[in-house]
Amino acid sequence: MKDSKRIALVAHDNCKKALLEFVENNLEALHVHELIATGTTGGLIERLLNERMPEREKERGGVFKLKSGPLGGDQQLGALIAEGGIDVLIFFWDPMEPQPHDVDVKALLRLSVLYNIPTASNMSSAEFLVGSPYFHADYTIREGYFSEYLGRSL
C-alpha cells in the first residue's frame, strides 16, 4: 500500500451526518488520498469537498462514486477490495436499523476482514485510523489468517 491510499467511504442513512462531520474534521488528512464512495454518500462528500476545497477538487476530479449501496454499491466495493483496489474502508453502518441489503453489508465487511484491510465502523475508530502514522506512509498489508485458504490448490 503506497503513501497515497484508496479510501472507501460509506455510510447508512442515519450515519451520513456523522461521516460528513468526520470528513470535514479530517479534510487535510483525506484530501491527498483517492476517495471512493457509494452513490448518495459520494455525492454528499463531493459537495462538501467542493465547498471547502474547490480548487483541490477541480484538480483531483472529485470523489469516485459507485452505485448506491442498495443498488449494488456495496458489492462493487467488495469487488474492489477483492481485486486490491481499496486500501482503507471507512463504513459508518447503522446497527439499529434493518437494511434491505443487509447481506451485501455483511459480505462487504467479511471481505474487509478476509483481505485484512484497515476498517473503521464509527467516528472513534475512523479518527484512530486517520491518526495512525501508517495513514500517510507506505505500508505492507500482512496476509490474513485465511491466506492458506486463498492459495489452496483445487
Per-residue pLDDT of the chain (154 residues; tens, 9 = 90+): 677 899 999 999 999 999 999 999 999 899 889 999 999 999 999 999 988 887 766 566 679 999 998 888 989 999 999 999 999 999 998 888 777 667 888 899 999 999 999 999 999 999 999 999 999 999 988 876 666 766 777 7
pLDDT at 46: 92
Residues 6 or more apart from 149 whose CB is under 8 A from it? none
pLDDT at 70: 84
The Cα 120–Cα 130 span in angstroms is 10
The Cα 111–Cα 81 span in angstroms is 7
The Cα 121–Cα 108 span in angstroms is 12
**pTM greater than the 0.75 cutoff:** yes
Chain centroid, CA 9 distance in Å: 4
Residues 6 or more apart from 147 whose CB is under 8 A from it? none
pLDDT at 131: 95
pLDDT at 58: 57
pLDDT at 115: 92
Torsion sign across C-alpha atoms 90, 51, 55, 59? positive
- Which residue segments constitute the domains of the chain, with CATH numbers given? 6-150 (3.40.50.1380)
The Cα 120–Cα 118 span in angstroms is 7
pLDDT at 61: 65
Which of these is catalytic: 3, 13, 74, 104? 74
Asked about 74 being catalytic, the answer comes back as yes
Set of cell numbers at residue 56: 483541490
